[in-house]
Structure 1
Amino acid sequence: MIDVPLSASLFHGGAELETVDGAVRLHRLPLPYRSREADGQLRLMESQPSGVRLVFGTRATTLELELRATRVAYKGLARERGAVDVTINGDLHGSHPLRYGNVLEIDMQTGGTASLAGEIDRVSVEELAPGDKHVEIWLPHNEQVDVVALRADAPVHPLRDERPVWVHHGSSISHGSNAATPLQIWPAVAARGAGVNLRNLGFGGSAVVDPFMARVIRDAPADAISVKLGINVVNLDAMRARSFVPAVHGFLDTIREGHPRTPLALVSPIFCGIHEETPGPGSFDVDELRAGRVRFVATGDPTRTREGVLTLEVIRDLLAQVVRDRAGDPHLHFISGLDLYGPEDAEEFPLPDGLHPDTATHELIARRFVGVAFAPGGSLRPAGSP
Structure 2
Amino acid sequence: MTTDWTTTSLTADLVRGALELERTGRGLLPHRLPARARAQCADPQLHMVESQPSGVRLVFRTRATAIELDTVPTKRAYLGAPPRPDGVYDLLVDGRPAGSASVTGGDTLTVDMTTGTAELTSGPVGTARFTGLSAEDKTVEIWLPHNETTELVALRTDAPVEPSPSSDRPVWLHHGSSISHGSDAASPTGVWPAVAASLGGVELVNLGLGGSALLDPFTARALRDTPADLISVKLGINLVNTDLMRLRAFGPAVHGFLDTVREGHPDTPLLVVSPILCPMHEDTPGPTMPDLSALSEGRLAFRAAGDPAEAAQGKLTLNAVRAELARIVARRSAEDPRLHLLDGRELYGEADFAELPLPDGLHPDGAAHRRIGERFAKLAFASDGPLAPRAR
Q: TM exceeds 0.5?
A: yes
Shift of the 338–110 alpha-carbon distance from structure 1 to 2, 3 Å rule, reads closer
* Aligned match of 1:230: 236
Q: Matches of 1:200 and 1:316 in 2, distance apart?
A: 22
User: Which residue does 1:52 correspond to in 2?
Assistant: 56
The 3 A distance-change label for structure 1 pair 35 and 378 is same
* Aligned counterparts of 1:107 and 1:118: Cα–Cα separation in 2: 20
Gaps of 5+ in 2: none
For residues 52-77 of structure 1, the C-alpha deviation after alignment (integer angstroms, 9 at most, x for no partner) is 00000011111111111112211231
Opposite residue 107 of structure 2, the aligned amino acid is N
Cα separation, partners in 2 of 1:209 and 1:23, compared to 1, 3 Å: same
On the 8 A contact 2:170/2:391 being kept in 1, the answer is no
Code of the aligned partner of 1:222: A
- Mapped partners of 2:118, 2:261: distance in 1: 38
**8 Å Cα contact 2:53-2:146 kept in structure 1:** yes
Instruction: State the secondary structure of the residue aligned to 1:106.
Output: strand
Q: Select the residue among 22, 25, 29 that pairs with 1:21.
A: 25
Aligned to 1:376: 383
Q: Which amino acid aligns with 2:22?
A: E
Pick one of 195, 205, 229 that aligns with 2:201: 195
Partner of 1:301: 307
Letter in 2 for 1:67: T
Q: SS state of the match for residue 334, structure 1?
A: strand
Deviations 1:343-378 (A, max 9, x none): 121100000000000000000000110011001101
Q: Give the distance between the partners of 1:65 and 1:383, measured in 2 at CA.
A: 34
Q: Is 1:292 the equivalent of 2:298?
A: yes
Q: 1:111 to 1:213 in 2, by over 3 A?
A: closer
Number of the residue aligned with 2:270? 264
CA distance in 2: counterparts of 1:135 and 1:226, whole angstroms:
27
Greater shift in the superposed pair: 296-305 or 134-143: 296-305
* Residue 97 of structure 1: how far off its partner (Å): 2.5
Distance across 2 between alignment mates of 1:384 and 1:35: 36
- Three-state SS of the structure 1 residue aligned to 2:254 is helix
Instruction: Determine helix, strand or coil for the equivalent of 1:94.
Output: strand
- Shift in CA distance, 14/325, structure 1 to aligned 2, threshold 3 Å: same
Give the alignment's Cα RMSD to 1 decimal.
1.2
Pairs within 5 Å for 1:343-382: 343-382=350-389
Which residues of structure 1 form unaligned runs of 5+? none
2:233 and 2:41 map into 1 onto residues whose CA distance is 19
Tell me by how many angstroms 1:110 deviates.
4.7
**Helix, strand or coil at the partner of 2:39:** helix
- Contact map agreement 1:84 1:138 (CA 8 A) in 2: yes
Other-structure match for 1:96: 101
1:224-283: per-residue Cα shift (whole Å, max 9, x none)? Answer: 000000000001011111100011011111111111110000000000011001000010
C-alpha distance in structure 1 between counterparts of 2:114 and 2:343, whole Å: 37
One-letter amino acid of the structure 1 residue matched with residue 152 of structure 2:
V
Q: Deviations over 1:174-231 (max 9, x none)?
A: 0000001101000111111111000000000000111111111111111000000000
* 8 Å contact from structure 2 (residues 383, 389) kept in 1: no
Structure-1 residue corresponding to 2:126: 121
| Structure 1 match to 2:344 | 337
Letter of the structure 1 residue corresponding to residue 308 of structure 2:
P
Q: Secondary structure at the match of 1:36?
A: coil
- Quote the offset at 1:153 in angstroms: 1.3
Change (3 A) 1:269 1:106: same
Q: Which string of whole-angstrom CA distances, capped at 9 and with x for unpartnered residues, describes residues 260-313 of structure 1?
A: 110000000000011001000010111101111011100111112121111001
